[in-house]
Structure 1
Amino acid sequence: MRITVLGTGYLGATHAAAMAELGFEVLGVDVDPVKVDALSRGELPFHEPGLPELLRKHTGTGRLRFTTSYEQAGAFGDVHFVGVGTPQRPGSQAADMSYVEAAVTAIAAAATRDCVIAGKSTVPVGSARRLAALAAEHARDGVSVELVWNPEFLREGFAVADTLSPDRMVLGIADDTGGAAAEAVLRQVYARQLGSGVPLIVTDYETAELVKVAANAFLATKISFINALSEITETAGGDIRTLADAIGMDERIGRKFLNAGVGFGGGCLPKDIRALRARAAELGVGESVRFLAEVEDINTRRREHTVATVTEMLGGSVVGAQVAVLGAAFKPDSDDVRDSPALDIAARLHSIGAEVAVVDPQANANAAARYPRLDYVESLEAAVAGAEVVVLLTEWARFKAMTPEELAPLVAERRILDGRNVLDPARWTDAGWDYRALGRRATPAGVPEAVLQE
């Protein structure tokens, strides 16, 4: 079989390269000729570890090619994966389905033989049945076009591994003979993964559509839960890291995603929980996910609290203060600044008068495109030079590994706010720093951690 991937953004480019790695001939399709040209040269327009090498490998062999032509894709492919975006609709919390609808319509009309369209984009529940009807309506006479919904579960920074060796696969199919035939085709596509023991869940369209957004809503809830508790521990004098370790030992809860800090961001979790709330309201069951509004409110409060903590550390005002912000991406090993708490906090500090120097190993350019008024520098040393407070907001390995001794000669004042709870408090306070962390009691400089525990 030959594969096409419609949309060559983060999801599409990763899936296309991974399909080529699995041995298929793959044609990536995008309406942006600049992006197509860059990908054809093996150049990736975003940062994702391991993906540039895979892209260059298979564009070099010719197994992976790119085009702007749906007609070429329709003549080429047996399976057409849809990986276009579903951004938040302007003026609404709902997902914008126009790109998915356009892709499905275009490939259905261009297909010259029987084929399967496999949707990977995150869509509101109820979309797949409508898209299946849309595909059938636009298909050529005598050509059968079947739709499967095959949601993606990629983590930025681990996308290649998550595509080649996922922890599960989900197929949503129509409840007819066409659905069974489409399932058989996707089982062939994923034969290597299934043969290695990857679990496969075959279900209806609606359940498959809900799996991804439900997973993201649950993770967002877990993050906001521990951040809500961190407000209590910080005020009462507890330690959120110890609390998280203790409750995480309960196998019903688990330790993952219980790291208190500045909250979640990125292109998936915020958008997906808003879209779920919007779709639930359309279905008349909005009350069932009303708690997600508070999940978002808690997440926003973390950013406000971080700014307030920096202000307090500076004596009540940030006006004219030199602030070093370490991190702009919403998470390490990514250059994604969409809804990034780090970048939002930096912008908030600047808006109330701070002089903010931002450094990120990968996201400076993307951050500058969104907030050009901040001072973006290329090294940790340049960011902290003359700083009156250092604020760690994205837990890149370089920032986690920095020491109080290496920063002390560079800063104007020894103050640091650990927004991700990744530094050793004792080491920093013993070195004479005013160390703060979200969810922990304030640690005065020079007071041993053991004394505080007593």
Structure 2
Amino acid sequence: MKMTVIGCGYLGATHAACMAELGHEVLGMDSDIDKVHTLNSGKAPFFERDLDDLLAKHTASGRLRFTASYGEAADFADLHFIGVGTPNQPGTDAYDLTHLFDAARRLAPGLTGPAVIAVKSTVPVGTAPQVAEILREYAPAKDLIEVAWNPEFLRESFAVDDTLRPDRLVLGFKRDHSWAETVLRQAFAKIIESGTPTIVTDWATAELAKGAANSFLATKISFVNAMAEVCEKSGANVAELADILGHDHRIGRHGMRPGLGFGGGCLPKDLAGFITRADELEAGPAVDMLREAAAVNGRRRQRVVDLAREELGGDLSGKRITIWGAAFKPDTDDIRDSPALAVAQALHDLGATVTITDPKALDNARKLHPELDYVEDPIAAVDDADLLLHLTEWHQYSNIDPKRLANRTTSPKVIDARGTLNTDQWREAGWLARALGRP
């Protein structure tokens, strides 16, 4: 098939490359000229595991190319995926739909015949009718344009695999959707034929799917971190407690990892947006548990700051603190709402000299926080440090022998906020080692 992908950030670029991998001819469209040039060279303007390989493969094969022209995109195909960003509005937690509505408005004048517009962007429930109305107003084809909702459930650093081998495929339509469903089933034929559960539903349910899924995941993470708070007060071990809970098949171990909490461009945004939309619908009391999930998540960051002050005598002025990790999670260079950088900034504001290292995210971190210090080598980064904080669980850090580090610091103290260091090994190497939620 021929198809376009409007908006080529994390979601759109990945979707475009994966659709080409499935055998389709794909035109990606983005208003950022520099991004278009980078993508056409076979590289992503961000780090996502396996994505550069697909981009290089299919820009070379001719199945995939990118443009900055809405007119070219409209002429290219009758199936258009929209995957533009929908961040929180400045000063509020509501979704900002400016990019989505603008994309629909700018694509519409070129839609002169029947077309399917499949929106993948995460939105508040009730958005689909607004998109349909924009297309009806601005597209010459008017009612021949069918709007479908196809939410994504990607995990950064696993986005390629999640696109090609998703847990489920959700297709949302208004009412008589026979043609749009046929088109999308053809687009995802290989995925459907592999046995992927495919749920066909209405617009509203499809719109709610991503926000509800991320809100549940956020609640699960925050639950185990709430248990970590109890464990710290009682002397229990949250890692072992999580293992005990995880063996209950109704609960499950996957995704319930105690530590510094969640960050990134999806879970915090979608949790906040979901709560805000529920308030607008006068269903606020139904999501009070989600407000507490967000509060627990915020407390994890403050807990690390409090532990750092405790270990350094209460006053951080002039203290040197090294932080392992800048990305919000490993295997990505994404620093959006990074818990690690939030802690780093808080420590800097309290007078500490903060040095950060990260395998992939240092350039992004430097742009956002030029006031902090950066070192590429995680071993050299601990030189003369009064305290080491492990805040992003890159596997490289767990493999470092703590015996190599103790003599490089002024005080061998480490706080493991991700629970992936072998603290017994660190103690045997002469370190004072603490981990969130553990004795």
Smaller-chain TM-score bracket = over 0.9
User: Could you list the per-position Cα deviations for residues 210-248 of structure 1 after superposition, in whole angstroms to 9, with x for gaps in the alignment?
Assistant: 111001000101111111111111121110001000011
In structure 1, the partner of 2:117 is 117
Match of 2:281 in 1: 283
Map residues 97-246 of structure 1 onto 2, 5 A cutoff: 97-141=97-141, 144-176=144-176, 179-246=177-244
1:116 is displaced (CA, Å) by: 0.5
CA-CA distance at 1:425 after TM superposition: 2.1
State whether residues 326 and 390 of structure 1, in contact with CA within 8 Å, keep that contact through their aligned partners in structure 2.
yes
TM-score if structure 1 supplies the norm length? Answer: 0.95
* Distance change in 2, residues 1:143/1:213 (3 Å): closer
Residue matched to 1:444 = none
Aligned-residue offset at 1:418: 0.4
- Pick from 410, 433, 436: which aligns with 1:435? 433
| Displacement after TM superposition at 1:358 (Å) | 0.1
Partner of 1:87: 87
Checking the alignment, whether the CA contact within 8 Å between 1:330 and 1:341 is kept in structure 2 is yes
Deviation at 1:141, TM superposition (A): 4.2
Q: Which residue among 274, 292, 295 is the counterpart of 1:294?
A: 292
What is the alpha-carbon root mean square deviation over aligned residues? 1.1
TM-score with structure 2 setting the length: 0.98
Partner of 2:416: 418
The one-letter amino acid of 1:282's match is: E
Per the TM alignment, residue 257 of structure 1 is displaced from its structure 2 partner at its CA by 2.1
Pick the aligned partner of 1:328 from 319, 323, 326.
Answer: 326
The structural deviation recorded for 1:136 is 2.1
1:89 touches 1:96 (CA, 8 Å); kept in 2? yes
Given that 1:263 and 1:302 are in contact with CA atoms closer than 8 Å, whether structure 2 keeps it comes out as: yes
Secondary structure at the aligned position of 1:37 is classed as: helix
The aligned residue for residue 341 of structure 1 is: 339
Output the amino acid matched with 1:120. K
Residue 389 of structure 2, aligned match among 391, 395, 404: 391
Contact conserved, 1:323 with 1:355, CA < 8 A, in 2? yes
Q: Within 2, Cα distance between the matches of 1:70 and 1:358?
A: 41
Counterpart CA distance in 2 for 1:72 and 1:437 is: 54
SS state at 2:408 partner: coil
CA contact (8 A) 1:108 1:145 kept: no
Comparing 372-381 with 128-137, which one deviates more in the overlay?
128-137
Which one of the candidate residues 252, 256, 259 is aligned to 2:257?
A: 259
Q: Which amino acid in the other structure matches residue 172 of structure 2?
A: G
Secondary structure at 1:172's aligned position in 2?
A: strand
Query: How far, CA to CA, are the matches of 2:109 and 2:118 in structure 1?
Result: 15
| Residues 1:401 and 2:403 aligned together | no
| Matched-pair contact (CA < 8 Å) for 2:113–2:141 | no
The reply to whether residue 46 of structure 1 matches residue 50 of structure 2 is no
Question: Which residue identity is paired with 2:411?
Answer: E
Runs of 4+ that moved beyond 2 A: none
Amino acid paired to 1:403: D
Match of 1:350 in 2: 348
**SS state of the match for residue 239, structure 2?**
helix
Q: How many residues align?
A: 439
| Greater Cα shift, 314-323 or 158-167 | 314-323
Shift of 1:203: 0.3
In structure 1, runs of 5+ residues without a counterpart are: 442-454
Distance in 1, matches of 2:92 and 2:312, equals 38
Question: Residues of 1 paired with 2:289 and 2:143: CA distance?
Answer: 46
Q: Deviations over 1:381-408 (max 9, x none)?
A: 2211111111000000111111211212
User: In 2, Cα distance between the equivalents of 1:387 and 1:154?
Assistant: 37
1:58 aligns with 2:61: no
Q: Does structure 1 conserve the Cα–Cα contact (< 8 Å) formed by 2:323 and 2:344?
A: yes
What CA deviation, in whole Å up to 9, does each residue of 1:251-297 have, x standing for no partner? 11111222111111000011111111111111111111122221111
SS of the residue 1:73 aligns to: helix
3-state SS of paired residue (2:407)? coil
Q: Which runs of 5+ in 2 are unaligned?
A: none
Shift in Å at residue 142 of structure 1?
Answer: 7.0
Deviation at 1:105, TM superposition (A): 2.1
Residue 25 (structure 1) aligns with: 25
SS in 2 for 1:290: helix
Q: Is the 8 A contact 2:398 2:422 kept in 1?
A: no
List per-residue Cα deviations over 1:54-113 (Å, max 9, x = no partner).
Answer: 101111122111111111111101210000000101111100011111112222221233
SS in 2 for 1:380: coil
Q: 3-state SS of the aligned residue for 1:378?
A: coil
Contact 2:136/2:142 (8 A) holds in 1 = no
User: SS where residue 5 of structure 1 aligns?
Assistant: strand
